[in-house]
Structure 1
Amino acid sequence: MNVGGPTRSQGDPKIAATLVEAMEAAAHEDPDALTHGFHAWPARMHRAIARTVIARATREGERVLDPFCGSGTVLLEAMLAGRRSAGVDLNPLAGALVGVKCERRDLESRDAFEQLAELVGEASLERVQARERAIAKLPPSMIGWYGPHVLKELAGLLEEIRSVEDEADRRALEMVFSSLVVKLSKKRAETSQQEAEKRIRKGLSTEMFVRKAHELAQRWGTLDEALPEGAIAPRFFEGDSRELERLLGARTKARLILTSPPYGGTYDYHAQHALRLAWLGLDARAFARREMGARRSAAVDPDEAAEQWWDDVAAMLRGMERVLDRDGFIVLLMGDGRFGQLDVPLIPQLIEIAPHVGLELVASASQPRPAWGGGATREEHLVALKRAERRR
């Protein structure tokens, strides 16, 4: 997410003050601490927002739910605060990454992991030197993102990772690998489909992998020191936020639902993670089919995409209301939508939809954001909703 700028607020003064505090904390704190920045994830929520809202809206032991959990920022901060937590995401990569980022490892385990990464790196370099055959199991459309020697080295490295017997170590090494496959491609940036000239010598991919594994072990160390005694690891459910009750069970309720849903017509999350998903062989068909507010849909038919966006936001809020504690809160970090030339301001949209799904908007804090591609100035909002009071 972007941070900073003048903050305006409205609604319940006490709740609005918390939202303002959270947004302004994000402007002054480093987002990369503990395991938060280990793996790139576009539009990740700032950890200061998650930490501030969790501290103000929940007590120890209460449940926090993130229905668009992504790389797990909210879940990690809930764990640090001694809260129970659960995350939901359509992206299968999210579950693997959350598990690694929220894993608690003691010194012995961390040392063993670093030694294992060194062994995997040595085996990979031996492959490179011996010019061993290795086949990248990627779709033809993705092969061109890599130089031939980089492609071959990454394929061999992944084979060595897959030979690791321990499941937890293998999963962690896969996430180390995942964190590098875009950097080692010809993609200009995480969110770009443009090529950039990169000179990557033989062996560099493996060296970066080993360094990144050491970095993860060090981050685990700082996390282990920061976690409270008896901290509970989050639960993860792969699925659709519009079906929370089915995924979690009718009896599971959350005191706080804190999440950052897609910004209408802004990103293509499936495209951003396509290389990683392909390398790891993850089934992302449901993710591609059901992603909300994708920019690619707006490119086909902006009016139809905007109409679908309203339906999706309503379904999303309805799903959240069904798993919310009676006195709980929903806090959303979202930006104004844009579909082609059509702007969809978030606050009026939520005000109109909320009563139809049993909710009411109680407060918001907003900051201006760059209007990429022209059009009206857009804003990013931190919005609090609760169950609507029933009138007799």
Structure 2
Amino acid sequence: MLYDAQQKTLFGIRNSQQGYLELINKKYNFQETIKILDKIDWDFKDFTTQYLTHTFHSYPARFIPQIPLTFIKLFTEEKETVLDPMCGCGTTLVEAFLNNRNSIGNDFNPLAALMSKVKTTLIDEGEFRYFNKKLGIMKRYLDLDYRRIDERINNLPNRKMSKIFNRVVISKLEAIRETLLEVKEEGHKDLFDFGRVALSSTIWSLVENGNGIDVDNLFLKKVKSMQNELKKMSKIVKNIPEVEVICGDARKLEVETNSVDLIVTSPPYVNALDYYRVHMYNMLWLGMDFDLFRKHEIGGHSHFIINRFRLLSEYLGDMLRSMIEMNRVLKKDKLCVIVVGNSSLEYELIESHKFFAEMGEKIGFKPINSIFRNIDKTRKYTSADIGKIDDEYILVLQKTDDTTVSADDDNFIAEVVREQMIRFREQIKKVQGTSIRGRKPTKERLLKNIDKISEAIQTIPEDIKIKR
């Protein structure tokens, strides 16, 4: 494959790191492949992780492409199907696409679904010529009615952002948006989506940098960069695999039973990021319902303020439902790979991979490996409470049996979550917890935490229900 031949250059691999490519590009039997996992340096230090369409859009807490790539190469064949039920910005899907594997991506975040779709959709040069011509006359939309612009300012989720989204900036953003709508009306849906991702990436830069005066040129530069990367990908991908991107709920996947050959995913962390907050300005300009996404987001931390441990009950319930669905769609004996870091609540360490491994055993999964890896400290950030995450775990599960329970079975979900929460409470009674930042709860706080966990156990039947 052309992608295999170019990996050394794309990853920035030195001769001393050549062994990684040799490992993943050989064929082994299943047991040999499992052993190979222990020979890989999962830190991927000094590897380039931003290349081709991975560069399209910033996305918080995403995992590096070498992780899904490794499992795709070692545990699937061409044209087999890879699923990421919480696909985020589409890292797994891009690697499946580059390696001629069919893929399914699912995410309730409409912006994430859009990114994933655009990153795995090739566009020919004739379409780009049309698109660039349209962008060349974009300025005709700049003379918009200021009443409309003022309405935009008044509808901003945070009025402080009006310092960035002033009249000049909004006028330019509206000109871009109107041009993209014209592209859509003329029947160029893929270009419309491509442009929306470029617009979203531009808005991300505005919010991050706090300066939007040159927003139109920033957008045009982003379009050019994205076009160049997509053209590079077009030269690599000759046999285009099937890609399906679903904007849906991981707790109720719209995927056929026993149809998937590999799952690789990196779910949200409890008490970490509210993705709807991170993406609200992007979603606002793209006409997406970020309030609906907020209601169904897994792992958010903007509620249960009085008792934060109720967040953990809710999170475990959501993840158990998602794992039941993963088991349902995965073929027997195939692997489910979950990449997740530790989190913390009230200075108590939350080792998510251990919760997932124990819950997995109750629904037909067998833990095969739990791989520790260090993370570049500049790459993963969660909430202000947790800070930067320095490491994470790659939990490897094998489906040994079809699950006998449904993701809709509230009684089963509540029972398993209750067991996990009781075990967690007993654990911190024995060993005083330590948060990711290394701070331990005081003795007084520890006693309060134990009481709060006990209270959270009582409200599990209520907290694990899916919000409608």
Q: What TM-score results when the alignment is normalised by the length of structure 2?
A: 0.70
Q: Percent identity?
A: 24
Once the 2 structures are TM-superposed, how far is the Cα of residue 110 of structure 1 from its aligned partner? Answer: 2.9
Please list every run of 5 or more consecutive structure 2 residues that lacks an aligned counterpart in the other structure.
1-30, 403-468
The corresponding residue for 2:430 is: none
User: For the residues of structure 2 that align with 1:374 and 1:97, how far apart are their CA atoms?
Assistant: 27
Amino acid at match of 1:290: H
Q: Are 2:357 and 2:395, in contact at CA under 8 Å, matched by a contact in 1?
A: no
The answer to whether the aligner puts 1:47 opposite 2:49 as a matched pair is no
User: For the residues of structure 1 that align with 2:316 and 2:327, how far apart are their CA atoms?
Assistant: 17
User: For the residues of structure 2 that align with 1:67 and 1:58, how far apart are their CA atoms?
Assistant: 17
SS in 1 for 2:72: helix
User: For the residues of structure 1 that align with 2:60 and 2:368, how far apart are their CA atoms?
Assistant: 29
Once the 2 structures are TM-superposed, how far is the Cα of residue 137 of structure 1 from its aligned partner? Answer: 4.1
The corresponding residue for 1:243 is: 252
Could you say if the C-alpha distance between residues 65 and 143 of structure 1 is closer, same or farther in structure 2, counting changes exceeding 3 Å? same
Amino acid at match of 1:182: W
User: For the residues of structure 2 that align with 1:71 and 1:141, how far apart are their CA atoms?
Assistant: 23
Q: 1:226 aligns with which of 213, 232, 236?
A: 236
The corresponding residue for 1:353 is: 359
Q: Are 1:68 and 1:89, in contact at CA under 8 Å, matched by a contact in 2?
A: yes
Please list every run of 5 or more consecutive structure 1 residues that lacks an aligned counterpart in the other structure.
1-11, 190-195
Once the 2 structures are TM-superposed, how far is the Cα of residue 284 of structure 1 from its aligned partner? Answer: 3.4
Following superposition of structure 1 onto structure 2, how do residues 362-377 of structure 1 map, counting pairs within 5 Å?
362-368=368-374, 373=385
User: For the residues of structure 2 that align with 1:311 and 1:199, how far apart are their CA atoms?
Assistant: 41
User: For the residues of structure 2 that align with 1:374 and 1:78, how far apart are their CA atoms?
Assistant: 32
The corresponding residue for 1:3 is: none
Q: 1:24 aligns with which of 35, 43, 50?
A: 43
The corresponding residue for 2:400 is: 388
Once the 2 structures are TM-superposed, how far is the Cα of residue 287 of structure 1 from its aligned partner? Answer: 1.9
Amino acid at match of 1:210: L
SS in 1 for 2:55: coil
How many residues were matched structurally? 357
The answer to whether the aligner puts 1:167 opposite 2:186 as a matched pair is no
Larger Rg: 2
Following superposition of structure 1 onto structure 2, how do residues 152-231 of structure 1 map, counting pairs within 5 Å?
152-164=171-183, 165=186, 166-185=188-207, 189=208, 198-201=210-213, 204-227=214-237, 229-231=238-240
Q: Are 1:336 and 1:345, in contact at CA under 8 Å, matched by a contact in 2?
A: yes
Once the 2 structures are TM-superposed, how far is the Cα of residue 123 of structure 1 from its aligned partner? Answer: 2.9
Once the 2 structures are TM-superposed, how far is the Cα of residue 290 of structure 1 from its aligned partner? Answer: 1.6
Following superposition of structure 1 onto structure 2, how do residues 94-133 of structure 1 map, counting pairs within 5 Å?
94-120=112-138, 122-124=139-141, 127=142, 130=143, 133=146
User: For the residues of structure 2 that align with 1:223 and 1:348, how far apart are their CA atoms?
Assistant: 38
Could you say if the C-alpha distance between residues 374 and 224 of structure 1 is closer, same or farther in structure 2, counting changes exceeding 3 Å? closer
Once the 2 structures are TM-superposed, how far is the Cα of residue 172 of structure 1 from its aligned partner? Answer: 1.5
Q: Are 1:336 and 1:378, in contact at CA under 8 Å, matched by a contact in 2?
A: no
User: For the residues of structure 2 that align with 1:82 and 1:258, how far apart are their CA atoms?
Assistant: 16
User: For the residues of structure 2 that align with 1:131 and 1:290, how far apart are their CA atoms?
Assistant: 36
User: For the residues of structure 1 that align with 2:89 and 2:135, how far apart are their CA atoms?
Assistant: 22
Higher share in helix: 2
Higher share in strand: 1
Could you say if the C-alpha distance between residues 338 and 82 of structure 1 is closer, same or farther in structure 2, counting changes exceeding 3 Å? same
Following superposition of structure 1 onto structure 2, how do residues 2-13 of structure 1 map, counting pairs within 5 Å?
none
SS in 1 for 2:319: helix
The answer to whether the aligner puts 1:321 opposite 2:327 as a matched pair is yes
Once the 2 structures are TM-superposed, how far is the Cα of residue 339 of structure 1 from its aligned partner? Answer: 2.3
Once the 2 structures are TM-superposed, how far is the Cα of residue 42 of structure 1 from its aligned partner? Answer: 1.0
Once the 2 structures are TM-superposed, how far is the Cα of residue 60 of structure 1 from its aligned partner? Answer: 0.8
Of the two structures, which has the highest relative contact order with CA contacts closer than 8 Å and spacing of 6 or more?
1
User: For the residues of structure 2 that align with 1:283 and 1:389, how far apart are their CA atoms?
Assistant: 38
The corresponding residue for 2:427 is: none
Amino acid at match of 2:249: D
SS in 1 for 2:54: coil
Once the 2 structures are TM-superposed, how far is the Cα of residue 231 of structure 1 from its aligned partner? Answer: 1.4
Once the 2 structures are TM-superposed, how far is the Cα of residue 54 of structure 1 from its aligned partner? Answer: 0.6
The corresponding residue for 2:424 is: none
User: For the residues of structure 1 that align with 2:159 and 2:35, how far apart are their CA atoms?
Assistant: 49
Could you say if the C-alpha distance between residues 386 and 46 of structure 1 is closer, same or farther in structure 2, counting changes exceeding 3 Å? same
The corresponding residue for 1:59 is: 77
